[in-house]
Amino acid sequence: MSIREMLEEREYTMLSPYAAKSRESVRDRKEEPDPYRTDFQRDRDRILHSKCFRRLKHKTQVYIAPGDHYRTRMTHTLEVGQIGRTIARALRLNEDLTEAIAMGHDVGHTPFGHVGEYALRDMVGHFNHNEQSLRMVESIEKNGQGLNLTTAVRDGILGHTGSHMPLTLEGQIIRTADRIAYLCHDFDDALRAHMLRVNDLPKEVVQVFGDTHSKMITAMVTDMVTSSMDQPVISMSERGMETMNIFRRFMFERVYRAPSLIPDRNKGDYVVKHLFMYYKEHPEAIRHEIHHDNPITDQDIVDYVAGLTDNYAIKLFTEYYIPKVWDN
């Protein structure tokens, strides 16, 4: 019996009956099993080694071009993974599947955070970062071959936000862990940026979750674990969910839609839209990044622009639209 087979067998004896089992995973293209890793472990590793994952370190979470101690899209992803694994472990669900979904959930995010997402939506009519994350791992990575991830991981990536509810409990964990992570760490970053003070928090949030991002995460994770233990669905208590919604409305009002962030967000919107328009007029400029020989489509342009980091998008915009200064 191989190490992988022993790990797979252990899942049936140690995990909840509701946990996803790696031995039952399915891929679109069959592959030889790994001697050491389960399928979900392989999926996690493939995402971690992908180019789209590495680019997250230079993509905005909330603040465009932040300082060293502010969250980026990559640190957000790592925090989602940590929270998700804690919940999965407590519920005896599959940690490896949970972590794989967490690592891949935002790989389709645009430069400048949700600003870029809305900008591309304005240009083409429909664009959602969760769908782009799925597209990234299915048909863009590895020169258009995709990563051939299991259906459970892909389903969880698609369902981390939006109308689709993940089929596995591990995917449902990430759906809520994502929200826990961004609310708590964006609050922490807002304190660092002097946009908020602790005393600004709604009274209900302080009473139920506490007044530091660490206390908040602990309270929400505890609520999820207590409410979901030995249940066929992941949930929070009514009070916990109501308080999270109060916290979320507060963060949208005071941080995500704060007037002080609007100028830079408008600039990010402008950069993304004008890059799209440039490539619409000059499609051959991205031919080297397109993995087919057919005419370049709007989808190809969206795929390219969505994959850009903040810094590279600014560099390209400068190259295309800003006159060069001559040195005499």
pLDDT digits (tens, 9 = 90+) for 8-24: 999 999 999 999 999 99
**What does the pLDDT read at residue 328?**
56
Q: Which of 236, 259, 282 is the last residue of a domain?
A: 259
| 142 and 184, same domain (yes or no) | yes
Q: What confidence score (pLDDT) does residue 108 get?
A: 97
Give the tokens for residue 66: 């932040």
Residue type at 138? E
pLDDT at 291: 87
The answer to whether residue 152 sits within a structural domain is yes
**Residue 328 forms part of a structural domain:** no
Residue 229 to residue 220: CA distance in whole angstroms: 14
Instruction: Point out the domain boundary residue: 242, 259, 276.
Output: 259
Mean pLDDT of the chain: 95
Residues 251 and 268 in one domain: no
Q: Are residues 218 and 304 in the same domain?
A: no
pLDDT band at 65 (very low <50, low <70, confident <90, very high): low
Distance spanning both ends of the chain, measured CA to CA: 72
- Residue from 112, 80, 113, 115 nearest 98 by CA: 80
pLDDT digits (tens, 9 = 90+) for 136-152: 999 999 999 999 999 99
Instruction: Tell me whether residue 192 is in a domain.
Output: yes
170 with 245, same domain?
yes
* Residues 16 and 82 reside in one and the same domain: yes
Residue 108 lies in a domain: yes
Spell out the residues 6+ positions from residue 133 whose beta carbon is closer than 8 angstroms to its own.
104, 105, 106, 107, 108, 109, 157, 158, 160
The total of other beta-carbon atoms located within 10 Å of residue 308's CB is 23
Tens of pLDDT, residue by residue over 73-106, are 999 999 999 999 999 999 999 999 999 999 999 9
Is 136 inside any structural domain?
Answer: yes
Q: Domain for residue 327, yes or no?
A: no
The total domain count for the chain is 2
Q: Are residues 65 and 126 in the same domain?
A: yes
Predicted local distance difference test score (pLDDT) of residue 69 = 80
> Which one, of 124, 94, 100, 113, lies nearest residue 17 by Cα?
94
The parent domain of residue 271 ranges over 264-321
184 and 231 fall within a common domain = yes
With CA atoms as reference, report the closest residue to 228 among 19, 4, 2.
19
Among 13-22, 121-130, 254-263, the range scoring the smallest mean pLDDT is: 254-263
CA neighbor of 40 nearest in space, from 98, 80, 96, 86: 96
The verdict on 38 and 176 lying in the same domain is yes
**280 and 242 within one domain:** no
The candidate with the shortest Cα–Cα distance to 160, out of 185, 137, 140, is 137
Q: Contact at 8 Å (CB) between 169 and 20?
A: yes
What DSSP string describes 68-99? TTS-BHHHHHHHHHHHHHHHHHHTT--HHHHH
Residue 85 corresponds to which amino acid? R
Same structural domain, 143 and 38: yes
Asked if residue 326 belongs to a domain, the reply is: no
CATH of the domain at 120: 1.10.3210.10
Indicate if 145 and 14 belong to the same structural domain.
yes
Indicate the residue among 259, 279, 299 that finishes a domain.
259
Residues 276 and 134 in one domain: no
